[in-house]
């Protein structure tokens, strides 16, 4: 999304050994670049393309569910769609989007010239396209893609064909990429901060990514281990998850969710970080309670490893297990509440304006709170028994994920776009994008709470006629929401082609090191570490 790379900053011309000429010309340049801004741009574009692919799949699902009966797809294909939709959205769209933000912003926020391991950075990006090809390509092999849901539970996943092996391989590659990216981020944050940028003066976005990167390094290998055992069960005669051979299929679920719950916060924490920058900027105030927010993030990260079996209340885990996981899950609501209260107090008695980034941040706050509160309902084991594997859960996690991730990613994209391209985006279009998104999102997902309560199971291609009306409403909302996202593409393309030049600080309330750099940001920044003074610090510190 960086429009022009020929604005070299020759002020830092005294490092003879490394390139000052920007990226190599043409396509080859993108393959070989080690510049954090180039790589960030590629991550962001990649994630947006995957978002559209995964979104198209969700429209196949919602199209089929518009009316009862089987209309367009077979049940097998339906299962493949819901599986790939989830895998692509989680691993292809949301996670890379925030790695893209991290690449762009972390070096600029801590005053580093680039990421710690620039060549590894190139690798962690270029692993993604092959994984994406494996995932989408699996649709076209005999037997099609995995039709197990993104949870890949055996023994169902052992029954699947070649598509399953491709998905497993893709997960391995994506995991590798995430781990490499995380190592890079942690090292950059710990080792490359400019003098005076102490950890407790660091902007909130860097803090959320520091914790997230540790979560990734601890949890991705767990997923990799789980799918590796799945692979050997499928092909090499082991029976980790096969009762007949002394294994236990539920064991896979324990391992999967031991990864899977931290994964929820891997997605949510960087989103919290972005919002913690946008809200103070448009409130013209300091982030209320920086220190307590840092502690809340660390607490959420830690507790997220001890609540996994709340996804498994109906698998027959012992009563003591159910009780423990219920209490632990309730506990995680406390630091999450602290964060919400902090954001609201930050806005209290501010000088609020409502440009697109702020609108998306508010949308995030609204949807995320709804999703968090239904999460509280689901945490109560006895109630969860009625709601587990119904559309209530589908509604809940879309409120958390789409709000937690997508809305905050949009808030960040609109917020930093002028810095990246050096031009203002079309504010009116941005507002249309926001309002259509939030309205259609609620039309699509709010009725699903009612469907779940009435007992409609998830992951079914056809349903009893009593569920017809809400499904029709939900499908209309989904199509509206899907097509609204093309407005964003329009905004970005328009912004790249032209527009009003952006000043150094397009938002009068924005603070932090990145806003001291020219717009667009030069290809190389902070080759000489800046001296950090009070006025360089973000309000989000």
Q: Which residue has the tokens 């000088």?
A: 351
Note if 304 is an active site residue.
Answer: no
Note if 239 is an active site residue.
Answer: no
The 85-114 site mask, x for binding other proteins (CB under 8 A), equals: --------------------------xx--
Comparing CB distances to Cu ion, the nearer of 261 and 536 is: 261
Comparing CB distances to other proteins, the nearer of 139 and 331 is: 331
Comparing CB distances to other proteins, the nearer of 134 and 255 is: 255
457 binds, among Cu ion, other proteins, none (CB under 5 to 8 A by kind): other proteins
SS3 assignment, position 394: helix
Comparing CB distances to Cu ion, the nearer of 260 and 422 is: 260
Residue among 167, 294, 347, 444 that touches other proteins (CB under 8 A): 347
Note if 263 is an active site residue.
Answer: yes
> What is the rounded CA–CA span in Å between residue 505 and residue 412?
15
Element (H, E) at 95: helix 95-110
List residues bridging with 501 in a β-sheet: 423
Residues 2-41 that bind other proteins (CB under 8 A): none
Comparing CB distances to Cu ion, the nearer of 378 and 478 is: 378
Note if 74 is an active site residue.
Answer: no
Note if 114 is an active site residue.
Answer: yes
Scanning 205-213, 257-265, 446-454, 483-491 for contacts with Cu ion by CB under 5 A, the matching segment is 257-265
261 binds, among Cu ion, other proteins, none (CB under 5 to 8 A by kind): Cu ion
Scanning 10-18, 245-253, 254-262, 498-506 for contacts with Cu ion by CB under 5 A, the matching segment is 254-262
Catalytic residue among 34, 83, 148, 177, which? Answer: 177
The 358-377 site mask, x for binding other proteins (CB under 8 A), equals: ----x--xx--xx--xx-xx
28 binds, among Cu ion, other proteins, none (CB under 5 to 8 A by kind): none
Catalytic residue among 62, 172, 261, 505, which? Answer: 261
> How does DSSP assign 275-286, residue by residue?
HHHHHHHHHTSP
Catalytic residue among 62, 172, 339, 505, which? Answer: 339
Note if 178 is an active site residue.
Answer: yes
Structure tokens at 334: 């406390």
> What is the rounded CA–CA span in Å between residue 358 and residue 278?
6
Residue among 109, 166, 211, 255 that touches other proteins (CB under 8 A): 255
Shortest Å, Cβ 70 to other proteins? 6
Residue among 261, 398, 419, 433 that touches Cu ion (CB under 5 A): 261
Judge contact between 79 and 459, C-beta under 8 A: yes
396 lies in the binding site for Cu ion (CB under 5 A): no
427-453 helix and 408-421 helix, angle to the nearest 10 degrees? 160
> How does DSSP assign 113-138, residue by residue?
SS-SSHHHHHHHHHTHHHHHHHHHHG
Nearest to 199 by CA among 126, 290, 284: 290
469 lies in the binding site for other proteins (CB under 8 A): yes
Task: Output the CA torsion 128→129→135→140 (10° steps).
Answer: -170
Note if 311 is an active site residue.
Answer: yes
Q: Which residue has the tokens 């010309």?
A: 25
Note if 336 is an active site residue.
Answer: yes
For 468, other C-beta atoms within 10 Å of its C-beta total: 15
SS3 assignment, position 441: helix
> How does DSSP assign 141-188, residue by residue?
STT-S--STTTT-TTHHHH--HHHHHHHHHHHHHHHHHHHHHHHHHHH
Judge contact between 475 and 66, C-beta under 8 A: yes
84 lies in the binding site for other proteins (CB under 8 A): no
Residues 502-531 that bind other proteins (CB under 8 A): 506-508, 528-529
Scanning 22-30, 54-62, 92-100, 282-290 for contacts with other proteins by CB under 8 A, the matching segment is 282-290
Give buried/exposed letters for 149-158 (b at 16+ CB in 10 A, else e).
Answer: bbebbbebbb
Give the side-chain half-sphere CA count within 13 A for 42.
Answer: 20
Note if 261 is an active site residue.
Answer: yes
Assign residue 127 a region (left: φ > 0; alpha: ψ between -120 and 50; beta: otherwise): alpha
Judge contact between 266 and 214, C-beta under 8 A: no
Structure tokens at 311: 């996804």
Comparing CB distances to other proteins, the nearer of 45 and 153 is: 153
Comparing CB distances to other proteins, the nearer of 45 and 117 is: 117
Note if 536 is an active site residue.
Answer: no
71 binds, among Cu ion, other proteins, none (CB under 5 to 8 A by kind): other proteins
Catalytic residue among 34, 47, 178, 369, which? Answer: 178
The 205-244 site mask, x for binding other proteins (CB under 8 A), equals: ------------xx-xxx-xxx-xx--x-x---xxxxxxx
Note if 85 is an active site residue.
Answer: yes
Shortest Å, Cβ 521 to other proteins? 18
Catalytic residues: 85, 114, 150, 177-178, 261, 263, 265, 276, 310-311, 336, 339, 458
- Binding positions for Cu ion, rule: CB under 5 A: 261
């Amino acid at each position: 999304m960086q429009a022009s790379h020929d604005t070299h900053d020759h002020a830092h011309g005294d490092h003879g050994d490394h390139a000052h000429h920007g990226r190599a010309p043409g396509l080859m340049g993108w393959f070989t670049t080690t510049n954090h801004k180039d790589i960030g741009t590629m991550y962001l574009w990649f994630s947006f393309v995957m978002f559209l692919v995964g979104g198209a799949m969700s429209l196949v699902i919602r199209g089929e569910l518009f009316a009862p009966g089987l209309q367009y797809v077979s049940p097998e294909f339906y299962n493949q769609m819901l599986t790939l939709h989830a895998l692509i959205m989680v691993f292809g769209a949301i996670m890379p989007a925030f790695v893209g933000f991290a690449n762009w912003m972390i070096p600029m926020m801590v005053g580093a010239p680039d990421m710690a391991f620039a060549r590894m950075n190139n690798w962690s990006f270029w692993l993604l396209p092959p994984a994406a090809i494996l995932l989408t390509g699996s649709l076209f092999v005999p037997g099609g893609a995995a039709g197990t849901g993104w949870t890949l539970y055996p023994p169902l996943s052992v029954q699947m064909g070649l598509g399953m092996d491709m998905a497993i391989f893709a997960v391995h590659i994506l995991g590798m990429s995430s781990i490499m990216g995380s190592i890079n981020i942690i090292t950059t944050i710990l080792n490359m901060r400019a003098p005076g940028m102490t950890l407790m003066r660091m902007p909130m976005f860097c803090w959320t990514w520091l914790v997230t990167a540790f979560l990734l390094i601890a949890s991705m290998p767990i997923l990799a281990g789980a799918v590796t055992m799945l692979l050997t069960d499928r092909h090499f005669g082991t029976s980790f998850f096969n009762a007949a051979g002394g294994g236990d299929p539920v064991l896979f679920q324990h391992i999967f969710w031991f990864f899977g719950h931290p994964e929820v916060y891997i997605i949510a924490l960087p989103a919290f970080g972005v919002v913690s920058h946008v809200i103070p900027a448009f409130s013209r105030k300091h982030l209320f309670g920086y220190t307590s927010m840092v502690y809340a993030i660390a607490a959420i990260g830690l507790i997220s490893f001890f609540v996994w079996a709340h996804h498994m209340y109906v698998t027959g885990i012992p009563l003591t297990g159910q009780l423990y996981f219920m209490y632990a899950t309730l506990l995680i609501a406390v630091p999450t509440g602290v964060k919400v209260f902090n954001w609201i107090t930050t806005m209290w008695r501010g000088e609020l304006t409502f440009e697109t980034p702020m609108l998306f941040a508010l949308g995030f706050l609204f949807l995320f709170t709804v999703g968090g509160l239904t999460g509280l309902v689901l945490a109560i084991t006895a109630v969860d028994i009625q709601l587990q594997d119904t559309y209530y859960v589908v509604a809940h996690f879309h409120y958390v994920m789409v709000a937690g991730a997508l809305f905050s990613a949009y808030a960040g994209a609109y917020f930093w776009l002028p810095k990246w391209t050096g031009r203002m985006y079309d504010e009116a279009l941005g507002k249309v994008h926001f309002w259509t998104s939030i309205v259609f999102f609620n039309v699509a997902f709010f009725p699903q709470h009612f469907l779940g309560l009435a007992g409609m199971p998830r992951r079914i291609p056809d349903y009893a006629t009593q569920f017809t009306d809400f499904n029709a409403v939900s499908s209309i909302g989904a199509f509206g929401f899907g097509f609204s996202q093309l407005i964003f593409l329009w905004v970005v393309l328009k912004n790249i082609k032209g527009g009003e030049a952006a000043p150094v600080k397009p938002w009068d309330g924005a603070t932090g090191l990145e806003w001291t750099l020219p717009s667009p940001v030069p290809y190389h920044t902070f080759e000489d570490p800046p001296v950090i003074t009070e006025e360089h610090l973000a309000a989000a510190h």
